[in-house]
Chains A and B, each alone.
Chain A
């Protein structure tokens, strides 16, 4: 038991030693996504509270492929989670935790292509790897009210956050961002980013504060 504790402590110290220089070389971007001229529903399994913030690199960068699987459950006739952001190459395991059969059917946007990965029974899981960036609307053709959104990016700088009922705003933070030029954008199921994506310059060791506004389509276009 003692040896396990010692080895664990050593590993933590070693990770500090290697992580410190890496952190100094990266920056972070944080801020709020505010809802303007609209209110969003923040309750219920298909609420509109989720916002995906992403930082698209303008410089050519290579990113290591994501490791591990994420899960999307089908439980109580609802996809859980309702919104998920992933990097290209990520595998998602689609579980069926109901006592009923479920289907998973993808609508890829903007291409409009569709893919039916099958129908399976209670307790079973089917895995799918996402290889193209874009929005993937995930449906169950057996239960038409079921829908989820998977946002696939070709980089790892994205996060999913939640709009708070009281403030109609969602806080976000993107860590370990390499120095460079980026475009900051936000995705929401119903609302659009007000104006154009914001150019952000990230310097080593710096934190950039930047707020975004999402609103209805009629107010979203830049004037």
Chain B
């Protein structure tokens, strides 16, 4: 039975949000005849070669020299010289560039807080992903993710969600400066670069990207319905401009905002387009900026290490410091409905601003970040109080072997929630520590073992504390 999503209030695991984007794409391994580790240090986390490849629109520098399965030409490049009297040349992948990622999750309750001690989500996700290039100036990405999640640790829900994007590269000006994404945007940019969901080692997303404003309990508030602000840092539908150089990259986007389904909600439809917003005139906006010292350039240009013998010899190494900034501003419609049928609607204007750092040195990666948020009126006519939020994280990972990467992460979320709203627990503050180890059983098969211990707010995410997660990921 599918639960109407409005009935599910603050029960789904915060942080166990639906995965947003698959970034381990074996179709590129087939195209280039190369291993996953060319682009990934531990999939889906990309190394800097992979990041340059992605930014360049799924192309390497000197790309055609690496291609083992050449694309099918839609016209020879010579036709470009005849334009406008001929079609501009293009190409399509020689075989359909489809990748499949399967994820199998076992959850084991260590402290007896769940009804079921052991839960099989086999599979937890099946992802069908297609991505590639269309000639020199276009690329595309799309995915269908079939999801199976445990809701409130008792109900298993499943649905499918879709994303699709077309990118136009070098639309004007100097090389790499202005590129345009159309469709599902923000996959790589709605977050701080040191802690992007798509580069996550963990089985859980970063809390600073996935938390949403706590909802009001209908039964305790006496309301017939309440629609709060569904915002979290997740991909949305819109337009995004981005550019990059050797040491910097930026992105700025306009998105629908006010998404129909929050990242921690179960949709009331079996199939959804991720990040689709309500039809309205207002749009949300965001911008991000990253700067890198040392290591390989964002554009794949060479390391500043003058002696090649001192350069990093391993695929995961990239001695560097990356600083990242993100800002988001938007509005969401708040709606309350009382049992007698009267309704109230109004806008909650909100913004987020954050900064993060990532330092990589040989086999060690450490990262930390902070995001501040402000909501003008997230509870509509239930409270006129503003809500400030503080989310932070710090994490470290270490390559013991090329295939074994233990990691630890601390995350905290502090919300200044109003105390006078019926049906709202004003204390949603949480602090948690995550310990895990990721093992690359093969270059395209990963096993992740992880547990999370709450030091504050265990009851907010009841059942999450002291739960062992074992995730098997297979990409083909």
A interface vs B, CB < 8 Å? 38-41, 44, 46, 107, 109, 112, 114, 137, 139, 141, 144-147
Q: Give me the 5 closest cross-chain CB pairs, A-B, nearest first.
A: A39-B65, A147-B76, A144-B75, A145-B73, A137-B78
Please judge, given known A-B contacts A44-B70, A139-B79, whether A144 and B89 are in contact too, CB under 8 Å: yes
Contact A39 B62 (CB under 8 A): yes
Contact B75 A145 (CB under 8 A): yes
- Shortest A155–chain B CB gap in Å is 25
- Shortest B440–chain A CB gap in Å is 29
**B62 interface neighbour in A38, A107, A141, Cβ under 8 Å:** A38
B81: Cβ under 8 A from any A Cβ: yes
> Which of A44, A109, A114, A144 has the most chain B CB atoms inside 10 A of its CB?
A144
Contacts of A46 in B (CB 8 A): 73, 76
Interface residues of B in 50-76 (CB under 8 A from A): 62, 64-65, 67, 70, 72-76
Residues of B in contact (CB 8 Å), total: 18
Instruction: Tally A-B pairs: CB < 8 A.
Output: 41
> Which of B67, B82, B87, B89 has the most chain A CB atoms inside 10 A of its CB?
B82
B interface vs A, CB < 8 Å? 62, 64-65, 67, 70, 72-79, 81-82, 86-87, 89
**B64 interface neighbour in A41, A112, A139, A145, Cβ under 8 Å:** A41
Contact B65 A38 (CB under 8 A): yes
Contacts of B82 in A (CB 8 A): 107, 114
Contact A144 B65 (CB under 8 A): no
**B76 interface neighbour in A40, A41, A109, A146, Cβ under 8 Å:** A146
In the complex formed, the residue of A with least CB distance to B68 is A43
Report the bound CA distance from A141 to B82 in whole Å: 11
List 7 contacting pairs A-B, 8 Å CB cutoff, sorted by A: A41-B64, A107-B81, A109-B81, A114-B82, A144-B79, A145-B76, A146-B76
- Shortest B84–chain A CB gap in Å is 13
Report the bound CA distance from A137 to B86 in whole Å: 14
In the complex formed, the residue of B with least CB distance to A109 is B81
Contacts of B86 in A (CB 8 A): 141, 144
Contact A144 B70 (CB under 8 A): no
In the complex formed, the residue of B with least CB distance to A137 is B78
Contact A107 B65 (CB under 8 A): no
Contacts of B87 in A (CB 8 A): 144
- Shortest A4–chain B CB gap in Å is 49
Contact A40 B65 (CB under 8 A): yes
Report the bound CA distance from A40 to B82 in whole Å: 25
Add 13 more A-B contacts to A46-B73, A146-B76, A147-B78 (CB < 8 A): A38-B65, A39-B62, A39-B65, A44-B70, A107-B82, A109-B81, A112-B81, A137-B78, A139-B76, A144-B74, A144-B75, A144-B79, A145-B74
In the complex formed, the residue of A with least CB distance to B64 is A41
Report the bound CA distance from A146 to B75 in whole Å: 7
- Shortest B90–chain A CB gap in Å is 9
- Shortest A146–chain B CB gap in Å is 7
Contact A107 B78 (CB under 8 A): yes
